[in-house]
Amino acid sequence: MKKLLSRAWNYDFAHSEAHTVARLAVVMGVLLVAFGAFDMLADTGSGLYRFLTGHIDARTNPLAGMLDQAQFERMAWLLIGGLGAYISLFAVASFVLSLRRYGRHAFIPIFMAHFLSNLVAMAVGLLLFASLGAVAYVLGFRYEAGANLLSDGYTAALDLLKHHIPTLVTLPYPLALALGIVFGSLPGYFSHWLAHHSRLVWYGAHRCHHSAEIMHPVGVGPFMFLPGVFGSFPSIVFAAVSTKLFYYEPLLAETLVLGSLGIMLEKFNHTTVFYDFAYRNPLVRWTSAYFGNGVYHYMHHTSKAGDEIVNIGGSPFLFWDRVFGTYRAPTPVMPRVGLTNNPYIRLNPFAIVLSGWQQIAYELKMNKSWSTRFWIVFGTVYWSPPISRDFLILGYPEQ
């Protein structure tokens, strides 16, 4: 077992043999058919899925003024199924076109390493919440109180908003909704800014999301647990707070459903082969401009030095990027993506996800000064300790 784990830890997909690459291409082509179901249940579509199925289970209808209960349930399942089918079809098409454009030997190693890095990140996330459950149990609480801390906190916060946040002034419905969308996107902007400024968050949770040089909706590294903790959860709360302040009830359903409409365009965020199409198609491009996704988010992944932190917000129209000066318009020529200056990296899922933690641990061990150790943890990405080692980057191309 130890030998097997060692091989997995040290394996590099960049050195895969031709027959291995061919087999992996076939296997992944089959698995991508089910990606839509996974995405709707556990990834970008999960918020909309939980919202709709929650109303179905409770026999409530947020669109009672337009549809009866039966019509609403049929519409909800049709929307869930249709989005799932679209996501799967998009993933398969992106995969096939990437194979044709880049070839198996260039594309599959990058794709597989980053696809598997998502599984590693999921395992780390499950372990994290299981640990919280264990801590809660040791302290005398129920295990679920720790393991479900995030979801229970979400429910409690919404209940607090509904009953205790006052309405300062009742604005017209469209204006209240617009304020909810604008202010609801601020926590997401901040969490993304933090992920690129804090060296602990960058190395520990976000660098893995930027390391793929050929992007695919399934073959891009994870954002770890940050979106839920610092982004999605506070965004929903902020949206509900701001609408409750200016309307007689939180417009949560409207802000959630409107945001979920961007799921179809979100798939262009991390798809290299569809950049030209998404840029040149007026409907896709200008709709993406509102949501801040598609080619606008693709620009965020550029490997160009000096543009590491651009387009980090979202709808409406990358408002906070424009306010804080981090907005970049998409370019007619597709930018090269990946880590800054496109270094050679270890194409290993464990390295992609955990190498940043290795680096932080190594720096804390080798640098004896406590002030240096403080900045190792709380410094910015622009600072580096006297003794450091990168466990992901192997080197840089000759300029």
DSSP codes joined into one string, 349-394: HHHHHHHHHHHHHHHHHH---HHHHHHHHHSBTT---SS---SSEE
- Give 244's pLDDT tier (boundaries 50, 70, 90): low
pLDDT of res. 280: 96
Query: Is 358 a member of any domain?
Result: no
Residue whose tokens read 């902007």: 189
Average pLDDT of the chain, as a whole number: 86
Distances in Å between the Cα of 90 and the Cα atoms of 163, 287, 311 are 42, 18, 24
Rounded to whole angstroms, the Cα distance separating 229 from 187 reads 10
Q: pLDDT grade, residue 254 (50/70/90)?
A: low
Mean pLDDT along residues 239-246: 66
Give residue 252's pLDDT. Answer: 60
Stretch 235-258: mean pLDDT = 63
Query: For position 247, what pLDDT does the model report?
Result: 67
Asked if residue 397 belongs to a domain, the reply is no
For residue 381, tell me if it sits in a domain.
no
143, part of any domain: yes
Q: Model pTM?
A: 0.89
Q: What is the mean pLDDT of residues 263-281?
A: 94
Reply yes or no on whether the pLDDT at 303 is more than 60: yes
181 token code pair: 């969308």
The total domain count for the chain is 1
Res 284: pLDDT: 93
Using one digit for the tens of pLDDT, what is the confidence trace for 33-47? 999 998 888 788 877
Strand boundaries in the chain, DSSP class E = 344-345, 393-395
Residue 398 confidence (pLDDT): 75
pLDDT at 233: 56
HSE of 14 in the Cβ direction (CA atoms, 13 Å)? 11
Q: What is the pLDDT of residues 156-192, one digit of tens each?
A: 766 666 666 777 677 787 777 777 778 777 777 888 8
What SS3 class is residue 43? coil
Is 65 among the domain residues?
Answer: yes
**Which whole number is the average pLDDT over 203-211?**
93
Average pLDDT over residues 5-12: 85
**DSSP for 70-96, written as a single string:** HHHHHHHHHHHHHHHHHHHHHHHHHHH
Please indicate, yes or no, if residue 351 is contained in any of the structural domains. no
Instruction: Report if residue 192 sits inside a domain.
Output: yes
Q: 378 to each of 190, 193, 294, 366, how far by Cα in Å?
A: 16, 15, 32, 17
Q: What percent of the chain has pLDDT over 70?
A: 86
Burial bucket for residue 122 (CB in 10 Å: 0-12, 13-18, 19+): middle
Q: What range does the domain containing 21 cover? A: 14-340
The residue type found at 9 is W
pLDDT for 250 equals: 60
Higher pLDDT, 168 or 16: 16
Structural domain contains residue 249: yes
What pLDDT was estimated at residue 228? 47
